[in-house]
Structure 1
Amino acid sequence: MKNILPLLVFLLFASSACAAITLYEVEGTTFSADGSFNTFYVYSDSDKNAAMEAAIGVGDREQSRVKMGFLPNWIGFNFSKQIGDLKLGGRSSFWVTINDSDSNITESGIDTRQFYGTIDGDWGQILIGKDFTLFNRSNIFLDEILLGYGNVSDTLGLIDGGGVSFGNIGTGYTYPFPSAQITYRSPDIAGFKLAIGIVDPSRTQANGEEHAPRFEGELTYNYNFGPGAITLWTGFLSQKSDSTQTGNSVDTNGVSYGARLTIAGLALHASGYDASGLGFELGAGADTTLGLPVIDATGDELDSEGYLLQAAYTFGPVRLVASYGENELDGDVGVADWENETATGAIFYTVNESLKLVGEYNINEISIGSAEEETKTIALGAIVSF
């Protein structure tokens, strides 16, 4: 087995949590910008057993890098205009890798992850365009180490200089890959909000055809009480891809769920997902393209599941985080079992509203059948945002 995730795939994302800078605001029309820039010094130590060394053709390695973290650097632009009872808006964001010195020779990759328009009214919102999808969306947006570093492994080609770390992608949730979509979001009704959309489907069959889009949805509930708040959510995904050659089909279905509780400075997070035909890391389409298993040798869908448990405590400018996550793929005919787990301890220090410092220690363990690798990582970084 060769390294399965090419370093070209710098996938991670972020919410627009920064306070955008308003550049123009006249007669109901606004234009604003936001951005984030991060860099980490990273030291990783990868230990493999003999089966893993034989599988990927790489022995034990230590690696020092200066690179971006879980999130690439990005700049975003926001637009809105009130016209009668409707508010029309849009967002475009461009995500940039700074890891171009090792092999790409300053050819920085630019990834457009958001490019959409919105129509808002009293009845809710319709989004048209490209955005992060809904399945596992809150699982990752509410991850306590979203601004940190997270898991890497040599098996997945992540400890070198060309790609981001994976945060808890593959060790707690799968990635809600930005895709073309038409999504409706309801207004807040007693703390409940529903998002449901049709998404450009993923092709999981060679020479495949998709007779319907992918359907995704997420229901969230928010409740504030005294010194705290609770957020609950559940989501779903469903699609089908048929082969024009064999007549076989791959049905991809999944359920995601989670809860986040905050009381004073304490935050607790528990989330997970259960799916079939989805894959292990990045969702059905990306995992299929990268050669990661979605079906077994007979064409049957493989089951996968994951969960993430976290605790965080904030006092003054300091935020301490402990995190553990795990994904499993149940192997079948011709496919070994996969297991990937990550334990993380992190400290975030807020210097001011636009500057954070991060220190993190991470242990990732991945196994594919009898092949095993353990990677220990120290990451020290800074994040400037506006």
Structure 2
Amino acid sequence: MNFVGITVALGLLGGICAQINVLRPECDSPEVEEAALVAQDYLNAQHNHGYKYVLNRIEDIKIHPTVRLPEQHTFVLEIDLLETDCHVLDPTPLANCTVRPKHLTAVEGDCDVVLKKVGGILTVTAFKCKTEEDLCLGCYSLLPLNHTAGLDFVQVSLTKLNNITENVTYALVEVGRMSAQVGLSQFVVAEANCVNDTCTALNDTTAARGICTAEGVNDPIVNCKMFSTLVMTVPLVDANSTAPVRPALPSHGGGLSHKHGHRHHKLTALHNPHLSSFLSAESAESAEVVPVAPALNVSSTPAAPTQTTEDSSSASDASASAEVPITVVKRDVPVSVAASAPADKTHPVVPVQVCPGRIRFF
């Protein structure tokens, strides 16, 4: 056999070995769901604006074992997330948050996440997300978050709120969403320090804050859900040190909602692009990239949401794995598993779907 033939044969053998080494468990298996929930909580921790997201479906899973380190595996997950009605500053546990129903313009996140599992501990090392509205016939449409008339309505609503509250004045933190239907908005407020006619939101973890819904036209009805502590879902770590840092409290004029024409707040788009060989192009996002913290170790499985109703959307840091990623060889996703009993005409074999997994909401 000549040199070229040997090279081709070795290449084919290497490809076959790589395919054998890629494990494809069921999307709804306990091990995969644990990894998906770790990814869900990590993505929420990087998301400093808008609303929390909850796992809706596990689309695909590949597990790459490390040949020289049998206790180390790399998980490559594709997951779908749905926006809830809990703002990222709201300390309400994610399991108690309600998924925004379709008719109120649901927002979904499509994310590819790479995790490393060493000694039973899952660590997120890279992710890539895109966030988009789940548009449907008859659903509410959203205004851009920098819409002039919409922001004027929010300001009128804030003034009314301050006129009916006693001993405290609130300042606008950010606009959560604004409906194109007349007079329907959500915005976040925080206790303010006022000097003359200028009020500034207090950047204090004990300051009162909340999310308000305003409905109406000339005389809006304002209802607010107040919470008094700043949420810390996981301990964020500064990219240049190991000291925990709190997420920055956005302020009026400095938040993303007043800089762009998006109709909703997007998840952080990209983290650790040097590991992009593990990530598909499907979830690429080109806008609203926010710097994120290094990977975090999560040793316990986060609590899964308890909702069952059908009505419950480029940055990198210095952290990197020293290990060279295993080469990914594309192969078709197995969509069925054979039944153990032999098939016959009386009892035909029914294929069992293993991926994607079940839909939790819609």
Range of TM-score over shorter length? under 0.3
Higher helix fraction (1 or 2):
2
Larger Cα Rg: Structure 1 or Structure 2?
2
Q: TM-score, normalised by structure 1?
A: 0.26
Higher relative contact order (CA 8 A, sep 6+): 2
Q: TM-score, normalised by structure 2?
A: 0.27
Higher strand fraction (1 or 2):
1
